[in-house]
Every structure is written in structure tokens, then in C-alpha cells.
Amino acid sequence: MRAERASKPPVYSFLFDRVLTRTDPEKAHHAAFRAIRAARPVTGLRRTPGNPVAALGLTFPNVLGLAAGFDKNAVGIDGLGALGFGHVEIGTVTGEAQPGNPTPRLFRLPDDRAVINRMGFNNDGAERVAARLAARAWGRPPGGPVLGVNIGKSKVVPEDEAVRDYEKSARLLAPHADYLVVNVSSPNTPGLRNLQAVEKLEPILTAVQKIAEGTPLLVKIAPDLADDDVLGVADLALAIGLDGIIATNTTISREGLRTPAARVEEIGAGGLSGRPLTDRACDVLRLLRGRVGPDLTLIGVGGITTVADARARLDAGATLLQGYTAFVYEGPLWPRRIVKGVQQ
């Protein structure tokens, strides 16, 4: 595992080490997100950094986006874009509103620059999020971030009714999305990862494709898939004309962590994100690119912290990049730092 770290600005470093690490992570997230939204009149005056990227029939302002999970309910898209993200992926949104899993459900592992979450797709539901996106469309600023919408299965919906549930979300949300993502790879909804099996995934994707009607469609997969299963998803994507694949989601693995084992065991179940994913997420991306050829859009996510990480993911075949955990650890200047670094 690489020892290299990005360096936080001194002010953010002090705030993170002295304040945020002593605050409940979920409460700290909400406080930070409120600050981002409040700062938008100022941050929005800054030009979006980077060179445009053509992908999915769209023009992305730059290569780096914010992964799903930060803005679950589409309440701060433009504030996040103003920090330098070229695209913002909201969600995961489910057909039915749901509170998610009991708290505490979000945990930091500072020694590993990692996070464990078992949020459980807590969100306002497809109907409310669609209404919020429709209202935003009237005042959407020119040159803002490309908008991705990530959809998942409602917990109350049985696995054998998953197609219907994804169809509901797609019908409500695709009209407001620049691109749509089917999430079948979170470890925090019982049975969800079973849907990554090609025979279960294909009917979901083909059903959503019909409803999306021209909105680019991608699928997000887990790093825990065996290599053969990764290649199976790649083959399916080509066979049905999928527009892209996002690699990867969080992992259920706990191998190689620096955090004491007793602390990891105390935290319990959940998806691990951040630095420990770097190598596997890059390997999955490289496998996919080797299988699908040069044209399919691949979005690399998982353990991208430094400019070197970002360049390595692009070298492995990523068309676009996403981050989340590094944004938490490195602060609001991180997106611009990464975007500037990869184009030098």
C-alpha cells in the first residue's frame, strides 16, 4: 500500500484533527455540507478548473466528480460543483423513502485514511428527489457540474421485485439526470449484491434502459467481485449496449488495515472506502478496460487521494474519476488540487 499522502491545507488540517475527528462523523458531515451550501455565493464565483472531457455524449467540465453518497437527496449539487467537481453524482436514491440503518453508522479510520459506513441508502425517496431536481432545473446555473443520479433497491422491496423498484426510480429521475447509474453493489442493503450476478443484473439494466430513453446508463460494481465476474459484467455491458461502468463501490474486506483489529471489530459491518481500496479498484478498472476496449466510458473511483493516484487510474483506462473519502480527509480545496495536478 502506498505511503504517499495528499497534504491538507493548514487551516483544514487543524479543523479536521482538532474538531472534526472529535465529532460524530455523521453530524460532522451534515455540518460540513451546510457550510458548503452556504458558501456557494462565494465559491460559485470561481471558474471551474480543468480541461473538458467528452464522455457519454456529454461534455464534463473536468475529469473529477464527486461519488454518490455525499449528496443523497440533491440538496447541494451546485455548491459542490463550485468547489471544482466537474460532475456530481447524487444518491443513492431508492424508489421508496427510507431512514437507513440505525446509528451510529458512519466511522472514520484515520490511520488508514478510510471510512466505514453502513448508512443503508437513507434518502427521501425518488418522488421527493425528482421534485427537488425539477425545481432546480429552473435556476440551474450555466456551466455547472454534470448531474449523475444513482439509483438503488428499496430495502422493503423483495429481491424478486427489484426490477419494478428500479423502474419506478428510473421513471421519476431519468428526466432530470444527465446520466443514470444502477447501483447493485452496496453492502448495506440485504441481498443487493446478489443482483450483480449477470442473470439477475441483465433484466434490471434492460428494464431501466427502456425507461431512461436516451439518458446514458451505467452500472456500479463492487471491488469484491471475482475477476471472472468482473469480466462477466463487462461482457453484459457490451451485449446490451450499456453506456458505462463505475468501478468501484466500497468493499467488505478488512485486509491490511493499520487500524487496530479490536477497533475494526468494534465498528462491525459496513462498506470500507478510502486508501485501502486503491490497488483493487485500479485492478478492476484495468480488467474492465482490457475487456471492453477503448470506447466504453469507465469511471474510476475508490482510494483516489493524490495526484499520483488519479494519474494511475487514468493510465489504467479510466475516462473519468470520482472521489469521496479523500474529500472528507483532505478538505474543500482537494478537488481543484487533483484537477490541476492531472493536467500538468
Q: Three-state SS for 312?
A: helix
The grid coordinates listed for 306 are 493524490
Which residue ranges make up the annotated binding site for substrate?
72, 117-121, 183, 188, 249-250
Cβ(145)–Cβ(77) below 8 Å = yes
Binding residues for FMN: 68-72, 92, 150, 183, 220, 248, 274, 303, 324-325
**Binding-site annotation, residues:** 68-72, 92, 117-121, 150, 183, 188, 220, 248-250, 274, 303, 324-325
Q: Tell me which residues are annotated as active site.
A: 186
The alpha helices in 213-277, defined as continuous H runs, are 227-240, 261-267
**Cα–Cα distance measured from residue 28 to residue 247, given in angstroms and rounded to the nearest whole number:** 27
Compute the distance between CA of residue 6 and CA of residue 13 in angstroms, rounded to an integer: 11
- Residue 222 CA to residue 220 CA, distance in Å, equals 7
Q: Which helix (H) or strand (E) holds 60?
A: strand 58-60
Sheet holding 106-109, edge to edge: 106-109, 114-117, 271-274
Q: Does the CA dihedral 100-103-109-113 come out positive or negative?
A: positive
Report the greatest alpha carbon distance in the chain. 52
Residue 153 dihedral angles phi and psi, to the nearest 5°: -85, 135
